[in-house]
Structure 1
């Protein structure tokens, strides 16, 4: 918003002498006689400069103008701050909504591209959608890995025992498939159950 000080090209704390010098420069520059071909606009600008100087060169009028100007600027600043708070609150709400959607789809096992596409379909900005999709899938995989590492061996012992015949490969010795230990000196290839244990939990029994 242009002010009277802006019209004269001075700061709002300019001295009376600075205002006078600035008025002379601005008036000379905007005088219609110096602006051939655009006399009408130059005349309007010249009149504005004269009115600005008339107010700012009078101490009483300048005080009133400064008070009104300060109040108006304060009001505008408050309005801008409130608008900024509203925009930020809306942005955070939208971000939380996008993260929730991404976590839900990642938790259902969808890959990064699917999560990314869902976010774009939810009007999420392109780069933000990429970051949220990456984070959601990475967090889901991290949780799955942590769960698998923290499972106790006994939690699945009964299932392993009940499904032993199903998981032992046909090439394993007959005595192993029947649940009996192999003859002395005969071991299943690299300890089949040890391999299963390591593959599931990342640990050796």
Structure 2
């Protein structure tokens, strides 16, 4: 999705694409990852969008209810993200350093960019190339993006060979191929038996 959105932004598309972290929260809270559920939900959304009364019903829901739902959903999103650390060895000083350092800089660097923009009315990157300034200032003003970049770079450069087991990569081996787990057949097969024409790898 990330690469697709990047290409959409570079070349433009007839249909927009978006990445929604809310899906992670829903997946974590419902424990349902089947495509059939998505297809049925899409049918309901199309049906409800045609009838204006249903839209009015949803619009009448108080904002406090939406706020409560968002609190639960984004809390689960954060917890699901942290739950991936269960596969790593958190007794390893290497892993503790990577997690702590990336979280700290993920909060510190965007805060610096935010305060700089407030005072100077432009970001720390202010060259003659406006597009470059926008890229740098946007990327480094996002805490998750900064933390992700730092964590990925450190995890793939810092003592990689000696810490192979500590990284937890062996837990993901069976999910690298479609046939690695029996549940993949249910979750990720294409609808309407299209796997005959597009076999999974």
**TM-score computed with the length of structure 2 as normaliser:** 0.20
Q: Which protein has the bigger helix share?
A: 1
In our comparison, the structure showing a higher alpha carbon Rg is 1
Higher relative contact order structure (alpha carbons within 8 Å, sequence separation ≥ 6):
2
